[in-house]
Amino acid sequence: MGAKLLLDRKQQSDLFLLSQGAFAPLSGFQDSDAVNAVLDAGRLPDGQPWSIPIVLLADERPAADRVVLVDESGEAIGRLDVRSAYALDKQRYASAVFRTTDVKHPGVAWLLSAGKLALAGPVEADPEWVARYALEFDLPASPAETHAEIAARGWRTVVGFQTRNPIHRAHEFLIKIALESVDGLLLQPLVGETKPGDVPAEVRLDCYRALLDNYFVAGRTLLAALPAWMRYAGPREAIFHALVRRNYGCTHFIVGRDHAGVGSYYGPFDAQQIFSDYRDEELGIQPVFFDRVFYCRRCASMATPKTCPHPSDFHLELSGTQVRQMLGRGELPPPEFSRPEVAEILARHYAALELAGGVA
Amino acid sequence: MGAKLLLDRKQQSDLFLLSQGAFAPLSGFQDSDAVNAVLDAGRLPDGQPWSIPIVLLADERPAADRVVLVDESGEAIGRLDVRSAYALDKQRYASAVFRTTDVKHPGVAWLLSAGKLALAGPVEADPEWVARYALEFDLPASPAETHAEIAARGWRTVVGFQTRNPIHRAHEFLIKIALESVDGLLLQPLVGETKPGDVPAEVRLDCYRALLDNYFVAGRTLLAALPAWMRYAGPREAIFHALVRRNYGCTHFIVGRDHAGVGSYYGPFDAQQIFSDYRDEELGIQPVFFDRVFYCRRCASMATPKTCPHPSDFHLELSGTQVRQMLGRGELPPPEFSRPEVAEILARHYAALELAGGVA
């Protein structure tokens, strides 16, 4: 007895999600066979779809197999039953999951900086810690909570939307298109760790609430938190995000352009194409694909390359960088790009950053 | 030999569509058993979905069983092999198909004015007449033609849109939503007989072309004609329209509010609910349902009750009657309601009618 293992924020997130069924059918950190099956085939050894190995990387094997998991304050938050330990082949992991071994890729950087030894085995989380952890987000954060909310609303079909950014009109447009054919929306921003420069979760949550309150039908939306961390694994993470949303009760999942991408490691539609490796029935959720979305002055509406025939000089498209620069200068993006209620929240955030001397 | 039967315009349309496979699996006018199965169960005797009996009503049985079918000029256009003749129970037909026996219903009015004796049996159409008949519309009009066009475009998924009206922005919006998830659009206006007061097919075709040319992506649309006549049978006709579009090569079919309705004989969503009587696989086509569409000034976009939370004073909705009145006065409806390119064609049509003293 007495073996302890300190979990960092990412590992705490994995513990929470594993213990709550968000990563079902997984209930613990994966062993070598499972990891190899996922890396080679994008499936678990029994053939079920799974795209990102969930591994617990440590520097060394704990002194005992029953390990108490602790957080940075030293408090016990759960238990791990170490069934095996193995050296993870990080090059192989990176090549399969991130499609690159470039250390500038944030997922690769995480992998290389983590421990060498993978500890595998089932986990349990301390219920009080689970409650405290979920409370941080002040939103439904576990599959049990979203299932209850979905049941209370009587939705039979639910589309999930993953985001780590504020929602502008382009994404509002495609969410609303999806809402024409399903009963409800699970807007489930990722609130775990993202990369520096991303808008903090609490500011984004204010933006989401402003958007839902002003532009969506009450009773058709559910705002929840996904306390996962971003892997930036593009196509593999799109499958992962879809499977996780299935576990949270979604029947449909929106996959836009460059889902979970970073830099130019993935083609803009790689994260859609990968779905053809799986049947919808085995995923248990139906992907809903969208192309690039922009405002077209000639169409006088939001549009995509599938529906708008007009040349690009009619199109209003702003990059994330352009929007950050406008907001940093105290300018609001045009209402065709961003709802004023959302733009104002972001403007206040960037003004505060500016005062603190911190806009990139 | 020598038995002839004059077909009116509606019967010619049925002959064309039966002979071209547009009513597959039907290849002739239905006998009493088939009609009863359709009326009672919305299915053929073998269980396949079919919702509107295709009957040839005559005043008396022709002198021979091999009948030459002729048009109003007396020219032979095809042949009927009379296998049976029976008195059609028109009350039963009307109750099942039109859900009313009210003579003010245009479908009931047609039925009561038609002959009493139904002639059943396989038909053949004269190929030269078929070619001449199709040419009238100057558009693909048979399943063979649309299948060829769809194959040439390489579409795997095709959404069909049925209309007997000019297309304004509300319908453009829902067609474009459908186009986000399928490869192409078969815009297939019904060009057979409609009721008095409907905009004539040639004017509507000009409107469709103006809309497609100016607001749709070339290569994603196919304009074709459906030379069927309107039954105004609401829900039953929605199923019928879907089955016919399956035969023309569609994989999806848009069913909006009050599809194929007239007056207030049907609830606004009856034509969607009836699809739950059939599985998509047995229909061979997937319905795509839409709610009421309007422009919302607060959303600054087209919207539906599923996506817009704002009160109706923000909504721009005009009835067909209001639009006809505006156009009759020489006013164009606002661009949020109708594309100017379309409105101008309609304005010229109503101005010409006005000169002729004919606006209702």
pLDDT category at B319 given cuts 50, 70, 90 is: confident
The tens digit of pLDDT for each residue in A323-357 reads: 988 998 889 999 999 999 999 999 999 988 877 76
Residue B358 has pLDDT above 60, yes or no: no
Residue B317 shares a structural domain with residue B199: yes
User: How many Å apart are CA B123 and CA B15, to the nearest integer?
Assistant: 7
The tens digit of pLDDT for each residue in B26-83 reads: 999 999 999 999 999 999 999 999 999 999 999 999 999 999 999 999 999 999 999 9
Beta bridge partners of A303: A294
User: How many Å apart are CA B122 and CA B31, to the nearest integer?
Assistant: 10
pLDDT category at B178 given cuts 50, 70, 90 is: very high
Q: Of the candidates B211, B161, B208, B210, which has an alpha carbon nearest to the alpha carbon of residue B184?
A: B161
Residue B2 has pLDDT above 80, yes or no: no
Among residues of chain B, what percentage have pLDDT more than 70? 99
Residue B357 has pLDDT above 80, yes or no: no
The one catalytic residue in B99, B165, B257, B292 is B165
Is pTM beyond 0.90 here? Answer: yes
Quick check: A217 and B291 CB within 8 A? no
- pLDDT score for A199: 87
Query: Six-digit token pair at A297?
Result: 């002055």
What is the average per-residue pLDDT within B151-175?
96
- pLDDT score for B290: 93
Residue B1 has pLDDT above 60, yes or no: no
Residue A218 shares a structural domain with residue A125: no
- pLDDT score for B360: 45
Instruction: Based on the residue annotation, tell me whether B83 is a catalytic residue of this protein.
Output: no
Of B215, B301, B306, the CB nearest to A217: B306
How many cross-chain Cβ pairs, A to B, lie less than 8 Å apart?
A: 62
User: How many Å apart are CA A228 and CA A190, to the nearest integer?
Assistant: 6
Q: Say which residues have a Cβ less than 8 Å from residue B341's Cβ, sequence separation at least 6.
A: B210, B211, B214
Closest chain B CA to residue A301: B301
- pLDDT score for A360: 45
The runs of H, that is alpha helices, within A20-168 are 32-41, 90-97, 106-113, 127-135, 143-153
Closest chain A CA to residue B292: A180
Residue B117 shares a structural domain with residue B196: no
Beta bridge partners of A280: none
Domain region containing B214: 143-356
Domain boundary among A88, A118, A135: A135
How many Å lie between the alpha carbon of A257 and the closest alpha carbon of chain B? 13
Residue type, A276: S
Mean pLDDT computed over every residue of chain B: 95
Domain boundary among B104, B135, B166: B135
The two beta strands, B117-125 and B76-81, are antiparallel
Count of the separate structural domains present in chain A: 2
Domain boundary among B79, B102, B135: B135
The sign of the dihedral angle between the CA atoms of B233, B234, B236, B239 is positive
In contact, B88 and B116? CB cutoff 8 Å: yes
Q: Which of A257, A301, A302, A338 to mutate to test the interface with B (most CBs of B within 10 A)?
A: A301
- pLDDT score for A1: 53
In contact, B222 and B184? CB cutoff 8 Å: yes
Instruction: Based on the residue annotation, tell me whether A165 is a catalytic residue of this protein.
Output: yes
Residue B90 shares a structural domain with residue B32: yes
Q: In chain A, which residues touch B (CB < 8 A)?
A: 173-174, 176-177, 179-181, 214-218, 220, 288-291, 299-309, 335-336
Residue B193 has pLDDT above 70, yes or no: yes
Residue B165 shares a structural domain with residue B302: yes
Residue B226 shares a structural domain with residue B152: yes
Residue A97 shares a structural domain with residue A243: no
Question: What CATH number is attached to the domain comprising A81?
Answer: 3.10.400.10
Among residues of chain A, what percentage have pLDDT more than 70? 99
Residue B272 shares a structural domain with residue B347: yes
With tokens 């509107």, the residue in question is: B52
The tens digit of pLDDT for each residue in B230-258 reads: 999 999 999 999 999 999 999 999 999 99
Question: What CATH number is attached to the domain comprising A252?
Answer: 3.40.50.620
Of B176, B291, B300, the CB nearest to A307: B176
Residue A163 shares a structural domain with residue A97: no
Q: Of the candidates A175, A287, A283, A160, which has an alpha carbon nearest to the alpha carbon of residue A224?
A: A160
Q: Say which residues have a Cβ less than 8 Å from residue B271's Cβ, sequence separation at least 6.
A: B234, B235, B237, B238, B255, B258, B259, B260, B261
Residue B82 shares a structural domain with residue B156: no
Closest chain B CA to residue A289: B181
First to last CA, chain B: 49
Query: Six-digit token pair at A273?
Result: 């194409």
Residue B82 shares a structural domain with residue B182: no
Which residue numbers in chain A have pLDDT < 50? Answer: 359-360
Longest dimension (CA), chain B: 71
Residue B75 shares a structural domain with residue B125: yes
